[in-house]
Amino acid sequence: MVLILYFTFMLLVVVMLFYLVRHYIFSLTALYSQNGQTHYTLHGLSFRPTVSILIPARNEEAVLSRLLQRITEFTYPKDKIEVILIDDSSIDNTGRIAEEFSKAYNYFKVVHRGSGVGGKGKSNALNDGLEHAIGEILICFDADYYPQIDIIEKLTAYFVDPEVGAVQGRITVLNEPTTLVSRLVALERIGGYRVDQLARDDLGLIPQYGGTVGGFRRDLIEFLGGWDTKVLAEDTDLTFRVYLAGYKVRYVNEAECYEEAVEDWRSYWRQRHRWAKGHMQCFFKHSLPLLKSRNLRLREKLDGLLLLNVYFVPILVGLSWLLGASIFFLWPTNWFESIWSLLPVFLYSSVGNFALFFEVGVGVYLDRRLRMSWLIPVLLLSFVFNTVICFKAFFDLTFSKIVGKNVHGWVKTLHNGGETE
What span, in angstroms and rounded, lies between the C-alpha atoms of 133 and 58?
A: 19
β-strand partners of 109 = 84
Contact pick of 203, 319, 380, 411 for other proteins (by CB under 8 A): 380
Contact pick of 11, 18, 33, 223 for other proteins (by CB under 8 A): 33
Contact pick of 76, 159, 251, 357 for other proteins (by CB under 8 A): 357
In angstroms, what is the minimal distance from the CB of 24 to other proteins?
8
Tell me if 176 sits within 8 A of 258, measured CB to CB.
no
Work out whether 145 is an interface residue with other proteins (CB under 8 A): no
Q: Which is nearer to other proteins, 125 or 155 (CB)?
A: 155
Query: Which x/- pattern over 232-271 shows residues binding other proteins (rule: CB under 8 A)?
Result: ---------------------xx-x-x-------------
Q: Which is nearer to other proteins, 24 or 410 (CB)?
A: 24
Work out whether 331 is an interface residue with other proteins (CB under 8 A): no
Work out whether 368 is an interface residue with other proteins (CB under 8 A): yes
Contact pick of 1, 329, 402, 421 for other proteins (by CB under 8 A): 329
Q: Which is nearer to other proteins, 203 or 411 (CB)?
A: 203
Contact pick of 19, 76, 145, 146 for other proteins (by CB under 8 A): 146
Report the Cα–Cα distance between both ends of the chain, in Å, rounded. Answer: 61
Q: Which is nearer to other proteins, 165 or 361 (CB)?
A: 361
- Residue closest to 26 by CA, chosen among 348, 379, 363: 363
For every residue of the chain, which 3-state class applies, written as one string?
CHHHHHHHHHHHHHHHHHHHHHHHHHHHHHHHCCCCCCCCCCCCCCCCCCEEEEEEECCCCCCHHHHHHHHHCCCCCHHHEEEEEEEECCCCCHHHHHHHHHHHCCCEEEEEECCCCCCCCHHHHHHHHHHHCCCCEEEECCCCCEECCCHHHHHHHHHHCCCEEEEEEEEEECCCCCCHHHHHHHHHHHHHHHHHHHHHHHCCCCCCCCCCCEEEEHHHHHHCCCCCCCCCCHHHHHHHHHHHCCCEEEEEEEEEEEECCCCCHHHHHHHHHHHHHHHHHHHHHHHHHHHHCCCCCHHHHHHHHHHHCHHHHHHHHHHHHHHHHHHHHHCCCHHHHHHHHHHHHHHHCCHHHHCCHHHHHHHHHHCCCCCHHHHHHHHHHHHHHHHHHHHHHHHHHHHHHHCCCCCCCCCCCCCCCHHHC
Q: Which is nearer to other proteins, 190 or 231 (CB)?
A: 190
Work out whether 366 is an interface residue with other proteins (CB under 8 A): yes
Contact pick of 331, 374, 395, 399 for other proteins (by CB under 8 A): 374
Query: Which x/- pattern over 78-117 shows residues binding other proteins (rule: CB under 8 A)?
Result: ----------------------------------------
Q: Which is nearer to other proteins, 111 or 184 (CB)?
A: 184
Work out whether 17 is an interface residue with other proteins (CB under 8 A): no
In angstroms, what is the minimal distance from the CB of 146 to other proteins?
7
Contact pick of 39, 44, 73, 421 for other proteins (by CB under 8 A): 39
In angstroms, what is the minimal distance from the CB of 194 to other proteins?
7
- Residue closest to 276 by CA, chosen among 121, 394, 409: 394
Q: Is 229 exposed, middle or buried (0-12, 13-18, 19+ CB in 10 A)?
A: middle
Q: Which is nearer to other proteins, 87 or 359 (CB)?
A: 359
Contact pick of 42, 180, 203, 342 for other proteins (by CB under 8 A): 342
Contact pick of 112, 369, 408, 412 for other proteins (by CB under 8 A): 369
Work out whether 385 is an interface residue with other proteins (CB under 8 A): no
What span, in angstroms and rounded, lies between the C-alpha atoms of 190 and 354?
A: 12
Q: Which is nearer to other proteins, 184 or 221 (CB)?
A: 184
* Per rule CB under 8 A, count of chain residues that contact other proteins: 53
Work out whether 32 is an interface residue with other proteins (CB under 8 A): yes
Work out whether 296 is an interface residue with other proteins (CB under 8 A): no
Interacting residues with other proteins (CB under 8 A) = 24, 27, 31-34, 36, 38-39, 146, 172, 174, 176, 194, 253-254, 256, 258, 325, 328-329, 332, 334, 337-338, 340-345, 347-348, 357-358, 361-362, 364-377, 380, 420
